[in-house]
Each structure stands twice: as structure tokens, then as C-alpha cells.
């Protein structure tokens, strides 16, 4: 300090921040060592897939109902017009 004068304020702030980060890292490391990692259950590592059976059943039922309706209307319409199918 005698050679260069007083230390600028930003250097003091930078030193305090470094010391604070080092202190927080030590505390985090100590707490990580104190708490053991939770034991995860063994087994499937993926989430179960969503069951798509209900939507597939609904779509196929709707299509089947539409086919039956179309067939019934077509049969009655051609009979009324006089076209034999």
C-alpha cells in the first residue's frame, strides 16, 4: 500500500465475493457429504406408456357405426329410387 496507494474499492468487493462463493461451496460440499443420496427403487427406468386402447376403440367404433349407417341409407335410397344394388 505504501508503494501503490490504497486498494480500489472494486478490488475489495471482488475479494469479498470470491470469499463468499468459496464459503458457500464449502458449506454445500459439507451438506452433500452429510446427507446420503436417496436410494431409488430398482425396476423400470421408463415411465409407463399411456394406454391408447380407449381412443383406438372409440375411433374404430365410430367408423364402424358410420359404415353401417352408410350401408343402411344406401340400401334404402337405392330401393326407393328403383335402382337395385
Cα-to-chain-centroid distance, residue 39? 23
Delimit the domains of the chain by residue range: 1-34
CB 38 within 8 A of CB 49: no
85 contacts 78 by C-beta, under 8 angstroms:
yes
What confidence score (pLDDT) does residue 68 get?
Answer: 94
pLDDT value of position 30: 82
Q: pLDDT tens digits, residue range 10-22?
A: 899 999 999 999 9
pTM score of the predicted model: 0.36
CA gap 50, 78 in Å, rounded: 45
Amino acid at each position: 500500500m505504501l508503494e501503490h496507494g490504497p486498494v480500489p474499492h472494486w478490488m475489495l468487493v471482488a475479494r469479498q465475493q470470491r470469499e463468499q462463493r468459496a464459503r458457500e461451496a464449502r458449506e454445500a460440499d459439507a451438506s452433500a457429504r452429510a446427507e446420503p443420496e436417496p436410494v431409488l427403487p430398482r425396476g423400470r427406468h421408463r415411465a409407463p406408456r399411456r394406454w391408447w386402447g380407449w381412443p383406438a376403440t372409440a375411433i374404430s367404433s365410430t367408423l364402424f357405426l358410420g359404415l353401417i349407417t352408410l350401408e343402411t341409407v344406401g340400401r334404402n335410397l337405392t330401393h326407393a329410387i328403383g335402382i337395385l344394388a
